[in-house]
């Protein structure tokens, strides 16, 4: 890639549009995705606590920017379920005035965008590795269940009053948690008050639904779910979600669904195709939103990059994680300035894009154009779209997010990983709506498990036959093992968490062979990194053991050359302690032992000669 294509990644694929075949494929794929995105975006916006117009705005320019500035050619950017849920959770913490909800949603999108863009520019895409697969799987499954549960009020036709609603203070605040009001709303829907925890709200909802379910709303929701299933199974060539949205809107108008007390989308407040607004820079709110922004950035990008990698493997296209971060970051920044909210790459829509035959990012440009045309001309046609249908769209979307098989597989591979995923799932459900606590719990558990696993790496004691350059863990009983030389092999990095364990194991080896042991050769081939604590332990061992008559040598040190030279370790203890091969270290040891034995033998001969001379001098006559 040249500097120009790094700055404008779309230059890599725009030349491919000269092929009529590719151009046609991208137009068809882009239109197919648009038919899914338009109703989905409105549903996800309401999941985030926003009006449907914000979902449409988030599906226009952000989709365009994501396609042109990212590295994946088939990734479809826009509103997604998990990010929408996290947005609602974040804004529920700080918004007290409903009129400012969209302003803070834009501010959150801006923080997310700046964070992602910064990670990409600084080439820090590797930070997503801190979210292990079991943690993401546990969180995503829990989030999917929470999303589905959040749509149940729209399915049963029961209104839940939230703390940021204008009538919260009068209806709910004066009452205790147990006594919170249940009465009839102005439009005929039964009303309950939101609880502090999601499971409490769900319990109240089911209790109210048993007596007060709004049957026309329930029927519309069930019809929406069944309609999507029927279209997907029997009419796969038709856009299932769009078809159900159109049919339910027509049915709502014909049967006067609103007159029956059913909730509809009503007027969509569109302020032109491009509505530029600066987010409100509330620095007090920024501090609160930042934790959520990090969570949204990492979780959203994990979903985006996982599907992008899968598609790159299928299409044999090059994928740059850092460039994708830049593209996603710019999408969110754009969304924040044009009345959108936080967006991400969508797994389901990207799959639709690829299946429909998309070849380049131009398919997403087509999607954005169709959404733009909808914003200009088609939003009045959505006036009678039932809220229950939007709930059905979300429910069918989140079903695909629930996958417990990866947790079962993780349990089979390593029980600790499976347990972390399961606990993340449970804690996310428990902490809801404070979802950031669930993901933080999972990350802390993962890092703690990593430290636990690396605190006691494998320490192997190898024996060697006298004069041999081959060391083995299981020596043949018929072979005479040298008591003077031992080889120790350490499997893992040497850092603060396990340096003391390494010291203990090496001193234990010396204590067991103290009488005859002269040399220990430490095989450091598996040590890829040594930190200050590890280097200090090595220095202390070399000094103390050398003073007690045991020399420590190091073999296969090529990976640690830079650290040992930079710290002055080699200069302090001499180059003759370090060897590229274990065989070279053993040759050196045998030569030193032989030299020592020769010196001892010479000393004995000299002493014998001196004794003989003394005896002869005593026998001579005086």
**What pTM value is reported for the model?**
0.79
Least confident of 173-177, 462-466, 567-571: 173-177
Reported confidence tier of residue 609, pLDDT bands at 50, 70, 90: low
* Pairing, β 76-78 against β 578-579: unpaired
Contact of 239 with 35, CB cutoff 8 Å: yes
Given this model, what pLDDT does residue 617 score?
62
Domain extent listing, the chain: 3-157+213-423, 458-603
Q: Is 174 exposed, middle or buried (0-12, 13-18, 19+ CB in 10 A)?
A: exposed
Q: Any residues with CB less than 8 A from the CB of 119 and at least 6 apart, and which? A: 125, 127, 297, 322, 325, 329
Q: What is the mean pLDDT of residues 441-470?
A: 86
pLDDT digits (tens, 9 = 90+) for 249-262: 999 999 999 999 88
Does residue 536 contact residue 544 with C-beta atoms inside 8 Å?
no
What pLDDT, on the 0 to 100 scale, is given for residue 598? Answer: 77
210's enclosing H/E stretch is helix 198-212
Cα–Cα distance for residue pair 35/359, rounded to 1 Å? 18
Residue 284: Cβ within 10 Å count = 8
Look at 227-231, 384-388, 463-467, 614-618 and tell me which has the smallest mean pLDDT.
614-618
Q: For residue 53, what pLDDT is reported?
A: 93
Q: Give the confidence band of 184 by pLDDT, cuts at 50, 70, 90.
A: very low
Residue 14, pLDDT above cutoff 70: yes
What is the model's pLDDT at position 318?
82
pLDDT value at 164 more than 70: no
Q: Which pairing describes strands 485-491 and 158-161: parallel, antiparallel, or unpaired?
A: unpaired
Q: What is the residue-averaged pLDDT of the chain?
A: 86
What value does the mean pLDDT take over residues 215-221? Answer: 94
The string of pLDDT tens digits covering residues 548-563 is 888 999 999 888 888 8
pLDDT band at 326, cuts 50/70/90? Answer: very high
DSSP secondary structure letters along 48-97: TTS-HHHHHHHTTHHHHHHHHHSS-SS-EEE--HHHHHHHHHHHHHH--S
Query: With contact defined as beta carbons under 8 Å apart, do 43 and 391 qualify?
Result: yes
| Residue 527 clears pLDDT 80, i.e. is over it | yes
Hey, what are 19's tokens? Answer: 């092929």
- Quote the percentage of the chain above a pLDDT of 90: 40
For 302, the enclosing helix (H) or strand (E) is helix 283-315
- Phi/psi at 486 (5° precision): -130, 150
Confidence tier at 107 by pLDDT (50, 70, 90): very high
| Residue 152 clears pLDDT 60, i.e. is over it | yes
Which H helix or E strand runs over 160?
strand 158-161
Please write the tens of the pLDDT for every residue from 392-427: 999 998 888 888 898 999 999 888 899 999 999 999
For 34-58, write each residue's pLDDT tens digit. 999 999 999 999 999 899 999 999 9
Distance CA(410)–CA(150), nearest Å, equals 29
Q: Of 136, 85, 43, whose CA–CA distance to 433 is shortest? A: 85
Residue 180 has pLDDT above 50, yes or no: no
pLDDT for residue 515 is more than 90: no
Q: How far is CA 264 from the centre of its chain?
A: 36
User: At the topology level of CATH, where does 458-603 sit?
Assistant: Transcription Regulator spoIIAA (3.30.750)
Choice between 554 and 199, residue whose per-residue pLDDT is larger: 554
| pLDDT band, very low/low/confident/very high, at 620 (cuts 50, 70, 90) | low
Looking at residue 392, what is its pLDDT?
Answer: 94
Nearest Cα residue to 74 out of 354, 329, 441, 381: 354
What confidence category does residue 97 fall into, taking pLDDT thresholds of 50, 70 and 90? confident
Distance set, CA 470 to CA 205, 385, 522, 594 (Å): 72, 78, 14, 18
């Amino acid at each position: 890639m040249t500097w120009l294509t790094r700055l404008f990644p779309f230059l890599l694929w725009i030349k491919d549009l000269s092929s009529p075949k590719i151009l046609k494929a991208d137009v068809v794929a882009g239109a197919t995705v648009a038919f899914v995105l338009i109703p989905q975006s409105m549903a996800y916006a309401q999941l985030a606590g926003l009006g449907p117009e914000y979902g449409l705005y988030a599906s226009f320019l952000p989709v365009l920017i994501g396609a042109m500035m990212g590295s994946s050619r088939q990734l479809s950017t826009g509103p997604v379920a998990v990010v929408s849920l996290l947005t609602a959770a974040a804004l529920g913490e700080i918004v007290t005035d409903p009129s400012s909800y969209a302003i803070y949603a834009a501010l959150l999108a801006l923080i997310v965008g700046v964070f992602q863009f910064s990670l990409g520019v600084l080439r820090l895409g590797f930070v997503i590795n801190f979210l292990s697969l079991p943690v993401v799987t546990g969180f995503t499954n829990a989030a999917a269940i929470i999303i589905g549960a959040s749509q149940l009020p729209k399915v049963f036709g029961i209104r839940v009053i939230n703390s940021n609603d204008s009538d919260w203070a009068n209806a709910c605040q004066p009452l205790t948690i147990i006594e919170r009001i249940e009465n009839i709303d102005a439009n005929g829907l039964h009303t309950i008050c939101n609880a502090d925890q999601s499971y409490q709200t769900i319990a109240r909802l089911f209790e109210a639904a048993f007596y007060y379910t709004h049957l026309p709303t329930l029927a519309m929701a069930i019809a929406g779910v069944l309609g999507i299933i029927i279209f997907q199974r029997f009419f796969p060539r038709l856009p299932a979600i769009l078809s159900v949205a159109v049919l339910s809107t027509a049915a709502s108008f014909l049967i006067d669904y609103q007159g029956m007390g059913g909730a509809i989308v009503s007027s969509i407040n569109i302020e032109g195709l491009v509505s530029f607004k600066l987010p409100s820079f509330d620095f007090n709110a920024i501090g609160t939103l930042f934790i959520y922004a990090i969570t949204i950035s990492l979780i959203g990008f994990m979903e985006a990059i996982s599907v992008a990698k899968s598609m790159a493997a299928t299409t044999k296209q090059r994928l740059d994680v850092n460039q994708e971060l830049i593209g996603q970051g710019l999408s969110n920044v754009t969304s924040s300035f044009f009345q959108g909210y936080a967006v991400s790459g969508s797994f389901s829509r990207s799959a639709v894009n690829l299946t429909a035959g998309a070849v380049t990012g131009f398919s997403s440009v087509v999607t954005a154009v169709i959404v733009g045309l909808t914003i200009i001309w088609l939003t009045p046609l959505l006036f009678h779209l039932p809220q229950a249908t939007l709930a059905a769209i979300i429910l069918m979307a989140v079903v695909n997010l629930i996958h417990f098989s990866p947790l079962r597989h993780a349990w089979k591979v390593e029980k600790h990983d499976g347990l972390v995923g399961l606990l993340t799932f449970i804690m996310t459900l428990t902490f809801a709506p404070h979802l950031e606590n669930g993901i933080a719990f999972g990350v802390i558990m993962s890092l703690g498990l990593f430290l636990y696993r690396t605190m006691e790496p494998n320490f192997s004691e190898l024996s060697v036959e006298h004069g041999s350059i081959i060391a083995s863990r299981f020596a043949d009983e018929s072979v005479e093992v040298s008591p003077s030389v031992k080889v120790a092999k350490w499997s893992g990095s040497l850092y603060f968490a396990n340096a003391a364990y390494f010291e203990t194991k090496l001193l234990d080896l010396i204590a067991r062979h103290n009488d005859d042991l002269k040399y220990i050769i430490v095989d450091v081939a598996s040590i890829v990194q040594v930190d200050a604590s590890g280097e200090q332990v090595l220095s202390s061992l070399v000094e103390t053991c050398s003073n007690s008559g045991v020399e420590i040598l190091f073999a296969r040190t090529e990976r640690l050359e830079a650290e040992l030279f930079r710290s002055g370790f080699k200069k302090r203890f001499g180059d003759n302690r370090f060897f590229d091969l274990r065989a070279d270290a053993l040759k050196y040891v045998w030569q030193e032992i032989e030299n020592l034995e020769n010196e001892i033998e010479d000393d004995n001969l000299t002493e014998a000669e001196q004794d003989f001379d003394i005896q002869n001098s005593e026998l001579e006559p005086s």
